[in-house]
Amino acid sequence: MLMSEMMDFAYRILPPPLSALPAKYHAPLSLLLHSLSTGLIAHELATLAEMDDMRELAFFLGVTHDIHQKLVEDGLSSLKSAKKYIRDKFEELEKLDYYRYIDDALESDVCGKGIPIRGLPKELSLICHIGDMVQGRLEGIALLFWLRDQVKSLNPDLTVRFYSVMIPQVVARSYIMMQFYQKHIRETDHLALASPWGLYVITYEDQLPEVLEASWDELRINEELIPYIDIERAEASGETATINKINITRDEIKTKAWSRFARMFYEVSLLGNNGVLYPKLPTSIRDLFFNIEFSDIEFRDLGEADTHRCALCGLQHLAEDSIGTNLFGKIAGVSVTLEKWNRFLPAHAVVRGWKGQWENEIGLCPLCVLEAIGIRCSGFVGKLTGVLAVSISKPIPIELLNHLGRVLAGSSRINEPIVGKAEAERLILDYSSATIGTQEVSEPKTENLFRHRTSRGAEVNGVFLHIGKLVSWGIYPVKFLPSIDTSIVDRPVLTPYNFSLLDFPVTNKEYGHLIPWIGPLLATVGRMERSEALQYLDLSPEHAPLALLTLNKPKYKKGKGQAPILDLFSYDHVSETLSSIGVGI
């Protein structure tokens, strides 16, 4: 099955509001993302274990594995109704042949407990169990060792590799990991999981080393990334060279700062007769690359060496490797001043250091210059005014992370295949923290969170409309912030402004089950005028179902049929839910 087909199957089995139900109360993870991730992991493990005839069944077992727990045990449905619902879905998907196994699995939490499924090999239960437990309570190195034990019992030739880049420069580490994945991992037989702790790669022992020998050369800019006009030719002719809209004058090319930048970050084939340079970084940085060893970066104790302080991250680095602060905007392609740096970069701008007296020995360190290159290569160019981000709190297959990024950046539904140039633009996919960031075009001001008019009079939808769709589809926590950020938060929505409706953790059992109503409510208020919308955003979370029914009363009136947003959740069930918390309809 193709990725788009699996997304479609999962979404049609678990449409809103089921998709938005919290799957884990110890982590902000929706039922759709958890179930889909479990199914994808099971599908790929079946492939690695050479169980090709079981791949589709493994996927469907993974997608449906929590139906018993989330619907039957939580009182949202009887077992009989849940089985009928799933059977009808499989008939609709023309996959009814699989249902006899799904029916048996629905009796209990097969994946979570590793219970054998009647008529199927025990290895299939193990595969599904691994897919489920990857998003359990184990974290970091503990998860690595557990995973290794499990895949060894599946196939003794399989193992798990773990690589991580934890430098504070968010875009730079995204750029590094994506380059390494493309060059070292992509062509192997593997299942790669992005996580808040790093990249787990399930593969065969002989295909990837325990420690990845990396090279700074792999991070240099080449013709594939930037259309390049030869520096030497431009210098000789006195022309202005244009490197992906970066204007470089003849005088700038001759300066030491620009010369060192070019030799450190461009491939030797692009530099004419000038040889490349390699950075020398403080020893403390080495440990931020886990199981990644550079063959050409010198990590050293700077001691009494002549150093500068990085104006962005504050790192002490060799003066000879320092790049002028005025080059950052030219490299990144963004409009930059010292006062605005902190608006779109994670580090705090350090203008001056203290060595017994104020001093001005500042410059950009190599890692922050790499950050600027990453911004340009990610398409984060122009005036960066706001960022929409999603941080996944548990390991998630890279292909799913990539697809979620395309959904986040566009307006397509989660189950629709996304085609065209826009899918690759304006995205940061951080494999070392399972975070997606996408550029927003409007300032993060209150009026732009709602439906409003532009200066030219055009009416546009605010951020809440898009966020509401994402939450109701089961993609959260969603953050709309003025800066690129990778912190894992357990609130479904985080904006520069606080609203009562949004101010609760996903992991709160009292309010978490209300998320299926809060998502579509956000989408609804996103279409309203600001003054009217604020009345609903100031409601407490438990009033979200009532508010949604009020706003869509003709659709939800008893006996008049149901809108798709409620699907399994009947009017009677909504009434019972509200009654249980003291609210009558």
Exposed, middle or buried, 47 (CB in 10 Å: 0-12/13-18/19+)?
Answer: middle
Give me the count of residues in the chain.
Answer: 585
Residue 107 predicted with pLDDT over 80: no
Pairwise CA distance, residues 271 & 533, whole Å: 57
Instruction: Give the pLDDT of residue 497.
Output: 83
- The model's pLDDT over 25-49, given as tens digits with 9 standing for 90+, comes to 899 999 999 999 999 999 999 999 9
Instruction: Give the pLDDT of residue 569.
Output: 44
Residue 559 predicted with pLDDT over 60: no
Instruction: Give the pLDDT of residue 584.
Output: 36
Residue 571 predicted with pLDDT over 60: no
- The model's pLDDT over 131-163, given as tens digits with 9 standing for 90+, comes to 999 999 999 999 999 999 999 999 999 999 999
What's the average model confidence in pLDDT over 490-515?
89
The answer to the question of residue 327 being in a domain is: no
Instruction: Give the pLDDT of residue 580.
Output: 44
Lowest-confidence region among 328-342, 386-400, 536-550, 571-585: 571-585
The answer to the question of residue 83 being in a domain is: yes
- The model's pLDDT over 434-457, given as tens digits with 9 standing for 90+, comes to 998 887 656 666 767 886 555 555
Nearest to 252 by CA among 326, 307, 317: 326
The answer to the question of residue 256 being in a domain is: no
The pLDDT > 90 percentage for the chain reads 34
- The model's pLDDT over 40-80, given as tens digits with 9 standing for 90+, comes to 999 999 999 999 899 999 999 999 988 888 777 777 777 88
**Tally of domains within the chain:** 2
Pairwise CA distance, residues 265 & 261, whole Å: 6
Pairwise CA distance, residues 392 & 411, whole Å: 20
Pairwise CA distance, residues 402 & 429, whole Å: 7
- Confidence class for position 224, pLDDT limits 50, 70, 90: low
Instruction: Give the pLDDT of residue 35.
Output: 94
The answer to the question of residue 87 being in a domain is: yes
Average pLDDT, the chain: 79
Pairwise CA distance, residues 146 & 138, whole Å: 8
Instruction: Give the pLDDT of residue 239.
Output: 58
The pLDDT > 70 percentage for the chain reads 75
- The model's pLDDT over 348-385, given as tens digits with 9 standing for 90+, comes to 444 555 555 545 678 889 998 898 888 777 776 655 56
The answer to the question of residue 237 being in a domain is: no
The answer to the question of residue 207 being in a domain is: no
The answer to the question of residue 373 being in a domain is: no
Lowest-confidence region among 127-136, 331-340, 382-391: 331-340
Which range scores top for mean pLDDT: 66-80, 198-212, 398-412, 496-510?
198-212
DSSP letters, 307-373, are EEEETTT--EEEGGG-B-GGGHHHHHTB---GGGHHHHSSSPP---EESSSEE--EEB-HHHHHHHH
What's the average model confidence in pLDDT over 551-578?
46
Lowest-confidence region among 123-127, 211-215, 240-244: 240-244
The answer to the question of residue 133 being in a domain is: yes
Q: Which domain holds residue 72?
A: 3-137
